[in-house]
Amino acid sequence: MSTLAAVGERSTWARVGARIRRHKMASFGATIVVVVALSALLAPWLSPHDPLEQDVLLRLASPTADFPLGNDSFGRDILSRILWGGRVSLYVSTVAVLIAIVVGGALGILAGYIGGLFDRIVMAAMDVLLSFPTLVMGLLVVAMLGPTVGNLILAITLTAIAPFARIARAPTLTVKERDFVEAGRALGFSNVRLMVVHILPNVVDDILVMAALWLATAIRTEASLSFIGLGVRPPTATWGGMIREGFENILDTPWLAIYPSLAILVVMFGLNMLGDGLRDTSDPRLRHE
């Protein structure tokens, strides 16, 4: 049974990979995302300076060969801070979206598969979660519980679970009526096996499109909270926090806010292109674009 699951899994990933490669926009977006992720991952080796190292003499200094993007109001190297800042954003967003996929996806498949009262209760709970705007939920959770990485993840996860539950439930409702699921049931397969091996692969496509788009939303939320002052505490570099510091000096040194803004824009653009591309390739009506 486990080999069957493994084969299904591998072919799903191989299929998605092939689709991304075939689609120009998706592969361009995926390339951007991979480059940004690698630069954040390798920040300790790539960044020319310590992101926390201050130098009074270099306060708000213009770019030089040694400091290619200049220095901030503490004389810290902006390039190094951007490289390191990506780590917080990407870590928080990736973990939050992964938890939301697992929890939301499981709830959605269970609700769709079991149906009845359980379905109604789960979806009602999701409606309640959806009644709080993402940023407002984030503001409250982080303000009440404290600006830590764990609470940022919690805040973003709470708003991301409901969309994933909804997107997993819809295909489950139709797939569970199909003959191959009926056949599996007749063969005496357990409910868990039916859900994991036979229904899950039919849900993966929609979840992946959603994951790329929600990763962008999560990065935006994390940056927004840091910009408001509710992100990971300074001096830790985050893109949103850097823009906040830059915004305070916007009249004199606008580039302080612009460079980290560009970093966010690049990764958001990449994720949105990847998500759109994946959607195009999974929707046969749009396949010829």
Partner 1 sequence: MLTYIVKRLLVAVPTLLAVLTVVFFFVRIAPGDPAFIILGDQASQQAIAAVHQELGLDRPMLVQYLDFMSTVLRGDLGMSLVTHRPIWSEVANVLPYTIELTLTALVIGVVLGLPLGIAAARHRNEALDYAARVFSLLGLSFPAFVSAIMLLLAFAIELHWFPVISEARPGDPLSRVSALVLPAINLGLIMVAYVMRVARSSMLGVLGEDYIRTARSKGVPARVVIWRHALGNALIPVVTVVGLYLGVLIGNSVLTEIVFNRPGLGKLIVNSLNQRDYTMLEGLMVIYAFIIVIVNLLTDLTYGLIDPRVRQR
Q: Is the dihedral of CA 235, 239, 245, 249 positive or negative?
A: positive
Rounded to whole angstroms, the Cα distance separating 85 from 69 reads 14
Tokens matching residue 37: 């992720």
Q: Which stretch binds partner 1 (CB under 8 A): 15-23, 46-54, 75-83, 223-231?
A: 223-231
SS3 71: strand
Distance of alpha carbon 51 from alpha carbon 82, whole angstroms: 8
CA–CA dist 26, 33 (Å, integer): 10
Whose CA is closest to 274, among 18, 22, 30, 23? Answer: 30
65 binds partner 1 per the rule CB under 8 A: no
Please say which residue, 3 or 131, places its beta carbon nearer to partner 1.
Answer: 131
Does residue 261 touch partner 1 according to CB under 8 A? yes
HSE on the CB side for 88, CA within 13 Å? 28
Question: Among residues 99 and 230, whose Cβ is nearest to partner 1?
Answer: 230
Binds partner 1 (CB under 8 A): choice among 65, 117, 128, 187: 128
Among 145, 178, 190, 233, binds partner 1 (CB under 8 A): 145
Binding of residue 274 to partner 1 (CB under 8 A)? no
Residue of 122, 216, 232, 278 interacting with partner 1 (CB under 8 A) = 216
Distance of alpha carbon 259 from the chain centroid = 21
- Work out whether the CA dihedral 262, 266, 271, 276 comes out positive or negative: positive
Query: Considering the rule CB under 8 A, would residue 57 count as an interface residue with partner 1?
Result: no
Only one of the segments 82-90, 99-107, 168-176, 249-257 lies at the binding site for partner 1 (rule: CB under 8 A); that segment is 249-257
The reply on whether position 248 binds partner 1 by CB under 8 A is no
User: By CB under 8 A, how many residues form the interface with partner 1?
Assistant: 42
Tokens of 176: 């569970």
Does 230 help bind partner 1 (rule: CB under 8 A)? yes
Query: Per CB under 8 A, does 273 bind partner 1?
Result: yes
Least distance from C-beta 114 to partner 1, angstroms? 21
Among 127, 150, 180, 235, indicate the residue that binds partner 1 (CB under 8 A): 127
CA angle 234, 134, 138 (to 5 degrees): 35
Spatial neighbors of 148 by CB under 8 A, at least 6 apart, are: 232
Q: Of the candidates 57, 144, 187, 192, which one interacts with partner 1 according to CB under 8 A?
A: 144
Helix, coil or strand: residue 160: helix
Binding site for partner 1 (CB under 8 A): 124-125, 127-128, 130-136, 139-140, 143-145, 216, 220-221, 223-224, 227-228, 230, 243, 247, 250-251, 254, 257-258, 261, 264-265, 268-269, 272-273, 276, 285-286, 289
